[in-house]
Amino acid sequence: MGGIGIGIGIGSNMKQSAKSSSSMTASQDILVRETLRMSANLASTPLLQAPPVTIICCEEIDGRRWKYVAETDVCGQFKKNSFRPLSLQTPQAPLDELLAFVRSYVVPEGFPLSVTPSYVPYMSWRALKHFFGGAMGVFTTQTLLSSVGVSRNRATPGAVAINWILKDGAGRVGKMLFARQGKKFDYDLKQLRFAGDLLMELGAGVELATAAVPHLFLPLACAANVLKNVAAVTSTSTRTPIYKAFAKGENIGDVTAKGECVGNIADLLGTGLSILIAKRNPSLVTTFSLLSCGYILSSYREVKSVVLHTLNCGRFSVAVESFLKTGRVPTLQEGNMDENIFSFPWKDRPVVLGSRIKEAFQDPSAYVAVEPLFDREKYIVTYNPSKHKVYAVLKEQAQSDDILKAAFHAHVLFSLIKSSNDSKATSSEVHNSNVTHSVTDIEACIADTCKIVANSYGLFKNKAKEQGWTMSESLLNPGRARLYPVDNR
């Protein structure tokens, strides 16, 4: 009986398991059928799709690309106000966007391909110069205001204002008087630019001197303002030729604007730093000395970094000297680096181009002896032993190439005379200034140079052009005197 009971129990459990299995299977079948039905319904129902987009065109700006798209309706017509650009690049990092923003203010478009390689060192030194200049401006202004305030008890505010106006007026007068130098800003651009910066520092020093003698405020302030305004004329007059040397193509305006922006930024930074320093009441002399040294050094390096393609007197002298010694013309970089920045236009130079007869020749016999050597030339070259200078006298018919050849011939003669002086000084153990030359020696030397120039001038011109030099006499600063035939009528 027990076995029968167990069998019945097992049988009933099996029946229940079978029923539950069949019910689970039925539920699964229903779930599958329902899923298939829903999928079919979804397939038969149209989905909400994004409106169709058509690519219209693509563009590129400074290496970044965009595509322009527009939406169309069911009829294929473009929807109104759906035309928009889509960037093809990933968004820039905030730092990159900041750098791009700064670059748009401080470097020309297309940099570095839009400027010459010398642009970066020039602007670096220019920024440093303006930094020191801005820092110094705080101390000079503070000193001037303090000097005016010392006499406030003895003068009315109106008198103080008049002093300040007179100071500025004197500076403007100095600016107008110096502007007549005109063409010299083209002849000796670097030399005058550096001289202007030296005058700027001298003017700042005079302004600081008003603190020691406040009762002399007006004359000192007027003198300082004259010096600083002369320096301003020099800076303004030489700015465009320098920026022109950096520009590639017609982007002088862009190069100038960005260069001035860099200068202003550096000036503001220097001003901010000097304000912080001034609050600690440093030694005025020490502070001025340090800032002045930094300013002058930066100015010198700024001018030296400029690479010009033209040949002025300084660069022409470097080119001819290198050609006579080595047989090669220096590159643009070498010629500009070797140019003497301290050779200011008001200093005497050993070679004078386009001089007057009375300066070039001591007596008529010297002219009569030399003149036949230059029958076929449009110039006459000679050496005046009393002045230790070589002179090139230009004839009436002298053209651009004749002036260049005269300058080349004069430098060849100067080199030959210098070598002769060195050899005579060594043998006699005396200084060059004591070496004398007879008329015969000078004639022989000039005759030798005529042969040298006839064989080498064309070669010099070709090699100079190969190096990229612009062969023009316009910056050699020839004098206006010209020799014309004698009219016996």
Q: What is the CATH number of the domain that holds 211?
A: 1.20.1250
Q: Tell me if 6 is assigned to some domain.
A: no
Residues 332, 285 share a domain: no
The candidate with the shortest Cα–Cα distance to 109, out of 238, 243, 253, 245, is: 253
Q: Are residues 320 and 453 in the same domain?
A: yes
Of 48 and 133, the one with more pLDDT: 133
Task: For residues 294 and 317, state if they share a domain.
Answer: no
CB proximity list for 120: less than 8 A, separation 6 or greater: 112
121 and 190 part of one domain: yes
> In 45-118, where does DSSP find H-type helix?
94-106
Domain count, the chain: 3
Task: State what percent of residues in the chain have pLDDT above 70.
Answer: 76
**Which pLDDT does position 6 carry in this prediction?**
41
Q: Is residue 28 part of a domain?
A: no
Reference 314, options 407, 418, 413; nearest CA is 407
pLDDT score of 430: 44
Looking at the fold, whether 80 and 158 belong to one and the same domain comes out as no
Rounded to whole angstroms, the Cα distance separating 352 from 361 reads: 13
Rounded to 5°, the CA angle 477-482-483 comes to 145
**The pLDDT of residue 13 is above 70:** no
Query: Of the ranges 139-153, 225-239, 325-339, 397-411, which one carries the lowest mean pLDDT score?
Result: 139-153
Contact in structure between 402 and 385 (CB atoms under 8 Å): no
Whether residue 290 is found in the same domain as residue 329: no
Report yes or no on 10 lying in a domain.
no
The size of the chain, in residues, is 489
Q: Average pLDDT over the chain, rounded to whole?
A: 80
Residue 4 CB: number of other CB atoms within 10 A? 8
Same domain, 401 and 359: yes
Domain coverage including residue 426: 313-466
Distance from C-alpha of 174 to C-alpha of 230, rounded to nearest angstrom: 6
pLDDT for 222-235, tens place per residue?
A: 888 888 888 888 88
Residues 65 and 192 in one domain: no
Specify the pTM: 0.74
Helices (H), 247-283: 252-278
pLDDT at 47 over 80: no
Q: Are 154 and 291 in contact (CB under 8 A)?
A: no
pLDDT at 26: 54
Alpha-carbon distance 399 to 326, whole Å?
A: 29
